[in-house]
Amino acid sequence: MTTTTAPAPTAQAAGRPAGRPRLVPWLLRLHRPALYVWAGLVLVLAAALAWLWGPLTDAAAAAWRQYDACDMNTRCSYDQDAILRYKDVYGYTTFAVTALPFVVAAWSGAALFGRELENGTARLAWVQSVSPARWLAAKLALPALLVAGGTGVLVTLHHLAWTAGRGRIDTAKPWTDDLTLHAGGPTTVAFALAGLTAGALVALLSRRALPALALALCVTGAVRAAASWALPHLWPAVVHRSGLGTGYTSGGLEVEHGLITTGGAHIADPGCGPTTIEECRRLYADLHATAFYTRTHPYSHYWPLQLTTTALVLALTGLFVLAAFRVLRRTTGPAAPAAGDTRAEAAKGTPARAGRA
């Protein structure tokens, strides 16, 4: 019989733990198709918005000047195609920018998290090289950077394109239009980040790709709807008074309207109309109404409304992230040491073991 002794670990192996895996290159390789699609989508939309911002807006504005200069009694021509082209491109690009948060949510729930949790590759990474918390942090941080950067460029270009046509194109959308309001502001960036984190949370809860995709879309839609509803109430509105004979004053983003009584109280409008109608005059007399009121937001409130709504959505996004880490910890337990750290600890001072051949 012979006895063999395992070689003692070298000083370098004992003193230096094995290197941790480089998560960023791994993530870029793993999701390379999605990265290419995202980059292509951002480039195409950016080119369309730049075209809208410059040549299309100028051509449409010139056509509207020709139309406004026309005499109704004489025949004149104007470039109708330029006006229609501006309208079509604006509508398509606005819808595309609005849809970006939903695209991000669907990808996050189905491909970024749901697929790896469903087929078990995430758990394989946890037990071999990366702790669950570090895995989740990396898979949220890098996509969040790319999503925020790409979406931020697009909403900036959209706002510039809309601003270039404001006051020059008669059929340009007002700033109070829901799609225009969000497509040209930072709220869309916040919606995209909320979609990303919502996809991670529902994927960790369901651990299946298809249900996570559907749930992520539902959560993102709910966040956007709630933000649109809350936006007018997040900043003090301006109150306008008007006489009972003239009706309501219009303009801006309306919050509410109604009647003012002799005691100064604001009551609901019965929907009758101005006092030029005899029935309305008697009704307002019975209600002791003295004037109409309208609470609205003028255009000067655009950025306060945008920033307060963005802050609210980002706070909700932070809650999604916190909930995702709590769900991950509950389902995986305390983070285990990485494989490199385990090998390093095993190499420190481990006595050689003898075996028999």
261 three-class SS? strand
Q: pLDDT over 70 for what percent of the chain?
A: 87
Q: What is the pLDDT of residue 333?
A: 66
Strands (E), 30-173: none
Instruction: Read off the pLDDT of each residue in 36-61 and give the average, rounded to a whole number.
Output: 96
Q: pLDDT over 90 for what percent of the chain?
A: 57
Per-residue pLDDT tens digits for 263-321: 888 888 888 877 777 888 888 888 888 899 999 999 999 999 999 999 999 999 999 99
Name the DSSP class of 185: S
336 three-class SS? coil
pLDDT of residue 150 exceeding 70, the answer is: yes
Q: Comparing 127 with 320, which gets the higher pLDDT?
A: 320
Q: What is the pLDDT of residue 21?
A: 54
Contact 209, 114 (CB under 8 A): yes
Q: What is the pLDDT of residue 26?
A: 76
Q: What is the pLDDT of residue 342?
A: 44
Estimate to the nearest angstrom the gap between the alpha carbon of 139 and the chain centroid. Answer: 18
pLDDT of residue 24 exceeding 90, the answer is: no
Q: What is the pLDDT of residue 233?
A: 95
Per-residue pLDDT tens digits for 106-124: 999 999 999 989 888 888 8
Q: In the structure, what pLDDT confidence band is assigned to residue 200 with cuts at 50, 70 and 90?
A: very high
Q: What is the pLDDT of residue 334?
A: 56
Please state, in angstroms and rounded to a whole number, the distance separating the CA atoms of residues 129 and 341: 9
Q: What is the pLDDT of residue 353?
A: 44
Q: Comparing 216 with 262, which gets the higher pLDDT?
A: 216
Q: What is the pLDDT of residue 98?
A: 97
Q: Comparing 305 with 128, which gets the higher pLDDT?
A: 305
pLDDT of residue 226 exceeding 90, the answer is: yes
Contact 53, 157 (CB under 8 A): yes
Strands (E), the chain: 3-5, 238-243, 253-261, 266-267, 289-297, 354-356
pTM for the predicted model, two decimal places: 0.84
Residues facing 260 on adjacent strands? 266, 291
241 three-class SS? strand
Instruction: Read off the pLDDT of each residue in 311-339 and give the average, rounded to a whole number.
Output: 84
Residues facing 295 on adjacent strands? 239, 256
Residue matched to tokens 């192996």: 13
Please state, in angstroms and rounded to a whole number, the distance separating the CA atoms of residues 274 and 278: 9
75 three-class SS? coil
Contact 232, 255 (CB under 8 A): yes
Q: What's the whole-number average pLDDT of the chain?
A: 85
- 153's enclosing H/E stretch is helix 132-165
Per-residue pLDDT tens digits for 92-107: 999 999 999 999 999 9
User: Other CB atoms closer than 10 Å to residue 276's CB: what's the count?
Assistant: 11
Instruction: Read off the pLDDT of each residue in 140-146 and give the average, rounded to a whole number.
Output: 94
Name the DSSP class of 264: S
Q: Where are the domains of the chain?
A: 24-234+301-334, 238-299
Name the DSSP class of 131: -
311 three-class SS? helix
Q: Which residues contact 235 (CB under 8 A, 6 or more apart)?
A: 297, 301, 304, 305, 308
90 closest CA partner among 195, 39, 163: 163
Per-residue pLDDT tens digits for 57-105: 999 999 998 888 887 767 788 888 999 999 999 999 999 999 999 999 9
Q: In the structure, what pLDDT confidence band is assigned to residue 16 with cuts at 50, 70 and 90?
A: very low
